[in-house]
Amino acid sequence: MACTRREFLMRVGQAGGYGAAFLTMQHLGLMAVPEASAMPLAMETGSGNGTKVVILGGGIAGLVAAYEMGKAGYSCTVLEARPRPGGRNWTVRNGTKIEFKNGVSQTASWEDASYFNAGPARLPSTHKTMLGYCKELGVPLEVEVNTSRSSLLQSDAAFGGKAIEQREAINDTRGHVSELLAKCIRKDALDQEISKEDREKMLTFLRTYGDLKADYSYTGSERSGVSRLPGAGPDTEVLRPPLDMHALLDADFWQGMLFEEMFDMQATMFQPVGGMDRIPYAFAAKLGDIVQYGAPVQEIRKTEQGVRVGYTDSKSGATKTIEADYCICALPITILKTIPNDFSPRVKQAIAEVGYDSAYKVAWESRRFWEQDYNLYGGLSFVVKGPVNLLWYPSWKLFSDKGVLVAGYGVENYSEFGKLPSVAAKVDASRAAVEKLHPGHGKELKNPMYVNWGEIPYNLGSWVGRGPNYVPGRAMQYYEGPYKEFIQPDDRIYFSGDHCSHIIGWQEGAALASHRAINMISQRVQIARVSGAAKSQQV
Amino acid sequence: MACTRREFLMRVGQAGGYGAAFLTMQHLGLMAVPEASAMPLAMETGSGNGTKVVILGGGIAGLVAAYEMGKAGYSCTVLEARPRPGGRNWTVRNGTKIEFKNGVSQTASWEDASYFNAGPARLPSTHKTMLGYCKELGVPLEVEVNTSRSSLLQSDAAFGGKAIEQREAINDTRGHVSELLAKCIRKDALDQEISKEDREKMLTFLRTYGDLKADYSYTGSERSGVSRLPGAGPDTEVLRPPLDMHALLDADFWQGMLFEEMFDMQATMFQPVGGMDRIPYAFAAKLGDIVQYGAPVQEIRKTEQGVRVGYTDSKSGATKTIEADYCICALPITILKTIPNDFSPRVKQAIAEVGYDSAYKVAWESRRFWEQDYNLYGGLSFVVKGPVNLLWYPSWKLFSDKGVLVAGYGVENYSEFGKLPSVAAKVDASRAAVEKLHPGHGKELKNPMYVNWGEIPYNLGSWVGRGPNYVPGRAMQYYEGPYKEFIQPDDRIYFSGDHCSHIIGWQEGAALASHRAINMISQRVQIARVSGAAKSQQV
């Protein structure tokens, strides 16, 4: 499931949320509380004049850092290994090549309008920093439909394997739950818990909540959808009998059914018109030649007064170096493992400890049969069992003829999908999941594109998670240990990226981590300036 | 509440849905079953050649009829009283005049991009006919956000009157319900209802459903939102303590909270880009001078071979008549009451019996404080008590500076709002509802526009409902009696409009009613042709 990252974080935080767990750890004195916080940026224009900063990685963290520091007058250089900005923010279109470290290579052969976001694909309305950048940079947004009552849930264990509309599963479940609870109340089973005054209110509530009959029975609801739509003349609507609660329990739809309630999955959500990479390209347009593409970092060294970074200039093949007063290192931790560096032992140790998840997606071009034959526009459908657990329908260019269907989004490590022996087997599993939800339509899927972030050079993983060194039951390991090393500077090197935030795997985390890093640098520069001025006055 | 129409329909159908009630009536022999159904249109090109049809009313029903009959070769004229097409499908923009029968007149003085849909404003994904016309006519659609977890619920009876985010009310309610039901199961209060086998499954389900702790207690959930968003460095997310169930019962948020589950309100929904009237204008562009504007109908007469309709030509002021083989009468029943006619007694009686609701909306231009200060993009917020019960945020041009906020949508008849003594008092009540949900922002509302459909000439109401002759408890009256008179022809006059469908108040109902009417005419024309040919062969 796509939620593996979340599962991880939920384990980290247990029932109270990982934030709560983090706070608990702090209160127990198990964690150092770093000094600087991600305050709103308040750098004066010109306050960075004369200070050189080298920024490693042109993903969202690196781009945000260069953009904001540039406003304040810092002289920045971003070293980006690839010929494009964005890092994991990557939109695959006609002609895009996906090249794996293991030699697998695919090229998208799609219509011009077709695309899918191989990395982030959603902007929740609470991600104010990223939404703010879209506004500031003029990136048009549209609604990303993350919830649709017409989307489907499928389980081999119930309903003969037939996919069920979410409207039906959601509302029939609520109906049964309400009926059962009303029964208990009327049997006086909750007299301890519910006051006499609330008893009648609870029953009234449950009738509305579950759409119960006057006798508190649940016999189906229009909310669950119809077997015949209402029409003209004699064409009345025909309701469906409710799904049986016993069968619903067998089906075990719950994870998919409650997906929309996850805080960062809740409507309203957005996406840039034309692909998520419209954001890094908008930053890149502002930054111009501040970003050096095709410049993979080869070493990160400390000098007496700052940092020295060695990199390859891919055009000439020459090895070059750049010196700067400060470094913002916004490379994935997986990549830091491979780069010779002068990091202090505590940071080296932290880097060694961290493992990454390897997220994957499989995407197909197809006639929009989900719209044309199922009235299904955007949203996600879920398959309870199998290597591929979800379908994610495009929210862009709705009603057009063809679209790109993401059939499979999850992680390769510790998953059934990851154990499949070949790309062909993975693509087959993706098609099989579509067939389970939309029987007969598997054959309409064309030109699959499969991305596995663990195999993508310069990423080698998707986000901090359960890497190869993962010890089951030791889920707290990241926020407990390594995290605190990345959120404080190593001499003049400041780390950034979503892994320096509590919003792992989201662009918002990367942007806020860079805000925090540049706030820390800015404070240090101002203090140095003031103390420097004081010293020169003393002379 | 906006649901009054639905309340009515729900009363009509009681718990089983009005469709079910209708079917029951048919089975009991209480209703005639008309012969023709709204089959997909299958009229051959040219099959209408030589047949004249006069269509009364240029709303969606009239436009659909003229458009489809034109394809089949019928010679159509649409008489439309107003200078514009669309009827209740009316988009109010800068410069639009709203003139009431009682003399009240308002002109919108807004930014060019601002608008609101005074009539229909949503296209559910199940309304395939209307969505199909949008595609066929090239009307671009965008998502209408009908559900947002950031929208608000407010009750004077709880939480000190403070508005609560829907994510919080929805998920805390589900948490409490799950905790209570788990308690009952663990107390063996449901051993009769739940098998031993299902008992454990139910408990596992409730833990996921309600986000319960391992001991089945509900102590809050990230689903309900946070008091501090997660950020970078030490900035952990902070959860909110759960809302008290007792207070939730006092608040009585249920109608608003469950609004999104009403079948025809469920995501995914759409709206035409730029206003709902893009649909009638697209029909009108296809129809050209087939639609005669400024042509209010003055009389509807039967002739030996067809119909004769008298109307005023508003340009010249002259009274004119038009003769035709058939008439499709797509005027509101309220207007039919005022037009001299040759309808048969059964139809006259039906017309006399029907009452209309009078829907209203109040709309304001404002800075988008709901987006900028509340992260609230689209969706609806609800006020439990008071004359104005809902706010409907615009889904168009999200992130732009100004927008039009609909603050109040309901009916004037039998409502607290309708009893307010003046337009000023109604506008004040609208502002007060905004102030309840968004304290301090009432003063940002500018240039209100108030539409009351009962006061709009050529409509005099919004949809079949509880009119002046409404007898409480006699809610079945429309589908029981009058309806069956409108869904069969009166000689050569065929009725159409949403009132000839089971989708009252929706454009889909109007379109399907016209499909059905023209199918009936088409069959009659073909039969007449065949029998005419047979007769002439006999001669």
Instruction: Give the model confidence (pLDDT) of A276-298 as tens digits.
Output: 999 999 999 999 999 999 999 99
Residue B131 lies in a domain: yes
Confidence of residue A329 (pLDDT cuts 50, 70, 90): very high
Chain centroid to Cα B280, Å, comes to 16
| pLDDT tens column, A25-35 | 333 333 333 33
Mutation target to probe the B interface, by most B beta carbons within 10 A, among A152, A261, A397, A498 is: A261
User: Looking at the partner chain, which of B213, B268, B502 has a beta carbon nearest the beta carbon of A230?
Assistant: B502
What is the distance in angstroms between the Cα of A429 and the nearest Cα belonging to chain B? Answer: 27
Q: Give the domain range for residue B187.
A: 166-247
* Residues B207 and B79 grouped into a single domain: no
User: Looking at the partner chain, which of B26, B205, B226 has a beta carbon nearest the beta carbon of A263?
Assistant: B226
Two structure tokens written together for B77: 């004229």
Residue A304 lies in a domain: yes
Question: Which backbone phi and psi does B384 adopt, to 5 degrees?
Answer: -70, -45
Residue B123 pLDDT greater than 60, yes or no: yes
User: Percent of chain A at pLDDT above 90?
Assistant: 86
Question: Which backbone phi and psi does A438 adopt, to 5 degrees?
Answer: -135, 75
* Amino acid at the residue A132: G
Bridge partner residues of B143 (DSSP): B270
Residue A10 pLDDT greater than 70, yes or no: no
Residue B467 lies in a domain: no
Q: Which 3 state secondary structure label does DSSP give B392?
A: strand
Contact A145 B246 (CB under 8 A): no
- CB atoms inside a 10 Å sphere around CB A422: 9
Is the CB of A16 inside 8 Å of chain B's CB atoms? Answer: yes
* Residues B125 and B210 grouped into a single domain: no
Contact A148 B141 (CB under 8 A): no
Length of chain B: 539
* Amino acid at the residue A54: V
Q: Residue A266: its chain B contacts at CB < 8 A?
A: 149-150, 167, 223
User: Percent of chain A at pLDDT above 70?
Assistant: 90
Residue A466 lies in a domain: no
Asked whether A476 and A12 are in contact (CB, 8 A), the reply is yes
Contact B189 A194 (CB under 8 A): no
Bridge partner residues of A142 (DSSP): A271
Q: Residue A202: its chain B contacts at CB < 8 A?
A: 249
Asked whether B308 and B120 are in contact (CB, 8 A), the reply is no
Burial category of B213 from C-beta neighbours within 10 Å (exposed 0-12, middle 13-18, buried 19 and up): middle
Is the CB of A22 inside 8 Å of chain B's CB atoms? Answer: yes
What is A203-225 written as a DSSP string?
HHHHHHHHT--TTS-----GGG-
* Residues B504 and B410 grouped into a single domain: no
Mutation target to probe the B interface, by most B beta carbons within 10 A, among A3, A141, A142, A268 is: A268
The dihedral built from the CA positions of residue B113, B116, B120 and B126, taken in this order, carries a sign that is: positive
Distance CA B496, CA B42 (A): 18
Q: What total of structural domains would you count in chain B?
A: 3
Distance CA B116, CA B96 (A): 11
Distance CA A452, CA A454 (A): 5
Distance CA A20, CA A14 (A): 9
Bridge partner residues of B105 (DSSP): B99
Contact B234 A33 (CB under 8 A): yes
**A222: which residues sit within 8 A by CB, 6+ positions away?**
A211, A237, A239, B17, B262, B263
Residue B243 lies in a domain: yes
Confidence of residue B481 (pLDDT cuts 50, 70, 90): confident
User: Looking at the partner chain, which of A187, A228, A268 has a beta carbon nearest the beta carbon of B150?
Assistant: A268
Q: If residue B363 lies in a helix (H) or strand (E), which one and from where to where?
A: strand B359-367
The pLDDT value recorded for residue B37 is 39
* Residues A493 and A519 grouped into a single domain: yes
* Residues B191 and B325 grouped into a single domain: no
Residue of B nearest to A16 (CA): B221
Q: What's this model's pTM, rounded to 2 decimal places? A: 0.92
* Residues B346 and B375 grouped into a single domain: no
Distance CA B343, CA A355 (A): 80
| pLDDT tens column, B372-390 | 999 999 999 999 999 999 9
Q: Residue B38: its chain A contacts at CB < 8 A?
A: 231-233, 235
Residue A160 pLDDT greater than 60, yes or no: yes
Residue B192 lies in a domain: yes
Q: Which 3 state secondary structure label does DSSP give B302?
A: strand
- CB atoms inside a 10 Å sphere around CB A472: 8
Is the CB of B136 inside 8 Å of chain A's CB atoms? Answer: no
User: Looking at the partner chain, which of B125, B171, B502 has a beta carbon nearest the beta carbon of A377?
Assistant: B125
Contact B23 A238 (CB under 8 A): yes
The pLDDT value recorded for residue A477 is 77
Packing angle, helices B128-137 and B507-538, rounded to 10: 80
Based on C-alpha coordinates, what's the Rg of chain A?
26
Distance CA A67, CA A76 (A): 9
* Residues B227 and B313 grouped into a single domain: no
In this structure, of A308-317, B4-13, B400-409, B453-462, the range with the lowest mean pLDDT score is B4-13
Contact B148 A184 (CB under 8 A): no
Contact A226 B202 (CB under 8 A): no
Residue identified by tokens 């008893």 is: A199
Instruction: DSSP letter for A241, please.
Output: P
* Residues B76 and B98 grouped into a single domain: no
* Residues A368 and A225 grouped into a single domain: no
Q: Which 3 state secondary structure label does DSSP give A312?
A: strand
CATH number of the domain at A405, please: 3.90.660.10
Contact A375 B128 (CB under 8 A): yes
The pLDDT value recorded for residue A383 is 98
Contact B149 A15 (CB under 8 A): no
Left, alpha or beta for A184 (phi > 0: left; psi -120 to 50: alpha)? alpha
Two structure tokens written together for A219: 């016999």
What is the distance in angstroms between the Cα of B251 and the nearest Cα belonging to chain A? Answer: 11
Instruction: Single out the residue in B422, B455, B488 at which a domain terminates.
Output: B455
What is A88-140 written as a DSSP string?
T--EEETT-EEE-TTS-EEE----TT-EEESS---EETT-HHHHHHHHHHT--
Distance CA A538, CA A520 (A): 27
Averaged pLDDT, B71-90: 98
What is the distance in angstroms between the Cα of A105 and the nearest Cα belonging to chain B? Answer: 36
Residue B19 lies in a domain: no
The pLDDT value recorded for residue A468 is 58
How many CB pairs below 8 Å do chains A and B form together? 309
ω before B268 within 30° of 0 (cis)? yes
Distance CA B12, CA B463 (A): 15
Q: What proportions of chain B, in percent to the nearest 5, are helix, strand and coil?
A: 35, 20, 40
Contact A237 B20 (CB under 8 A): yes
Q: Residue A226: its chain B contacts at CB < 8 A?
A: 19, 263
Q: If residue B480 lies in a helix (H) or strand (E), which one and from where to where?
A: helix B477-480
The dihedral built from the CA positions of residue A143, A144, A145 and A147, taken in this order, carries a sign that is: negative
Asked whether B393 and B151 are in contact (CB, 8 A), the reply is yes
Two structure tokens written together for B108: 């919108």
What is the distance in angstroms between the Cα of B173 and the nearest Cα belonging to chain A? Answer: 10
Q: Which 3 state secondary structure label does DSSP give B193?
A: coil
Tell me if ipTM is over 0.90.
yes
* Residues B350 and B487 grouped into a single domain: yes
Residue A221 pLDDT greater than 60, yes or no: yes
Q: Residue B515: its chain A contacts at CB < 8 A?
A: 232
**A522: which residues sit within 8 A by CB, 6+ positions away?**
A43, A47, A48, A72
Number of H helices, E strands in chain B: 16, 26
Q: If residue B196 lies in a helix (H) or strand (E), which one and from where to where?
A: helix B196-210
Confidence of residue A188 (pLDDT cuts 50, 70, 90): very high
CATH number of the domain at B240, please: 1.20.1440.240
Q: Which of B:367-406 have CB within 8 Å of A?
A: 375-379, 395, 398-399
**A13: which residues sit within 8 A by CB, 6+ positions away?**
A19, A20, A21, A22
* Residues B444 and B480 grouped into a single domain: no
Q: Residue B236: its chain A contacts at CB < 8 A?
A: 18-20, 22-23, 502
Residue A155 lies in a domain: no
User: Looking at the partner chain, which of A193, A232, A503 has a beta carbon nearest the beta carbon of B230?
Assistant: A503
Q: Which of B:219-248 have CB within 8 Å of A?
A: 219-220, 222-223, 225-226, 229-239, 245-246
* Residues A365 and A450 grouped into a single domain: yes
User: Looking at the partner chain, which of B36, B234, B261 has a beta carbon nearest the beta carbon of A37?
Assistant: B234
- Residue among B124, B56, B16 at smallest CA distance from B494: B56
Contact B209 A131 (CB under 8 A): no
